[in-house]
Amino acid sequence: MAIRGTNIKIEGLTHRYRSRSGVTFNRVDLESPQGEALAIIGRSGCGKSTLLHIVAGLLKASEGSIKLDGNPIDGPSPKWVMMFQAPHLFPWMTVKQNVGVGLTFGNWSRATIDSRVDEAIRLVELQDFAQSNVQDLSGGQQQRVALARSLVMEPELLLLDEPFSALDAFTRSSLQHDVRAIAKRLGFNIILVTHDIDEAVIMADRAVIMAGSPGNIVHELDVDLPDPRDRGDPQVQKLRAELMDSFQEAANYNKPKAAALAG
């Protein structure tokens, strides 16, 4: 699978939902180097999902820019794909048909589509279910199908919006490990939006905390830990505690520097 990562540069990103409403976030600057897994954590309502939707090209920013390897994002693309909390599969199709659906819109031969789909299904370890109807799969397996459907597009950047929060703790944990391992093996970037500090420590190379109203990035922490990461490991627990302290500090934050400067 020919996947590679990308250099992400977000500059002065400002968003408001309506011209006369307040800003969701104000002059956000954020960079992420090729191959990084970046977590954005923050309380509900600080603008994390909105930011992710703009990166995905699903929403427009009011000001500022997002560039991948210097090229502006100006709409959806197979190079940057988003996974949501719900897998959004076609219920009448098999696993294989769901995974390949995006490729049927391109000019690939049947043989190329088949081989890319088979490889994506292998990556998420669903080979034994390739011909099953997705309705016969568990929630975790369905989320694996959604992951394979994203990977088959060979993205440079995988955007995850609370992708595992509807799953039980055991399934969530195995998907967190697997998605990170696949990203590291293939080299693509991840931006993960989450409320869950454990998820950020298990999955990310770096975590940024978003807070305030309007929101902004108020803190960042390198998650410099060896793989595979185990929740019980003292190093993991130490970083988790550090991130939790910053998160709680950020909860009291309501005047972002950028907004103050702008005002």
Q: Which is nearer to ligand ATP, 53 or 206 (CB)?
A: 53
Check residue 45 for interaction with ligand ATP (CB under 6 A).
Answer: yes
Judged by CB under 6 A, the chain residues 180 through 199 that form the site for ligand ATP are 195
Of 44-52, 68-76, 104-112, 122-130, the segment contacting ligand ATP by CB under 6 A is: 44-52
* Measured distance CA(223)–CA(176) in Å, rounded: 15
Q: Which is nearer to ligand ATP, 137 or 193 (CB)?
A: 193
Check residue 163 for interaction with ligand ATP (CB under 6 A).
Answer: no
| Minimum CB–partner distance for residue 199 and ligand ATP (Å) | 13
Check residue 256 for interaction with ligand ATP (CB under 6 A).
Answer: no
Binding residue for ligand ATP, selected from 49, 62, 77, 171, defined by CB under 6 A: 49
Q: Which is nearer to ligand ATP, 20 or 110 (CB)?
A: 20
Q: Which is nearer to ligand ATP, 45 or 72 (CB)?
A: 45
Q: What phi, psi does 237 have (nearest 5°)?
A: -65, -35
Check residue 17 for interaction with ligand ATP (CB under 6 A).
Answer: yes
Check residue 44 for interaction with ligand ATP (CB under 6 A).
Answer: yes
∠ CA 213-215-217 to the nearest 5 degrees? 140
Check residue 7 for interaction with ligand ATP (CB under 6 A).
Answer: no
Check residue 42 for interaction with ligand ATP (CB under 6 A).
Answer: yes
| Minimum CB–partner distance for residue 49 and ligand ATP (Å) | 3
Check residue 207 for interaction with ligand ATP (CB under 6 A).
Answer: no
Check residue 160 for interaction with ligand ATP (CB under 6 A).
Answer: no
Q: Which parts of this chain interact with ligand ATP (CB under 6 A)? A: 17, 24, 42, 44-50, 195
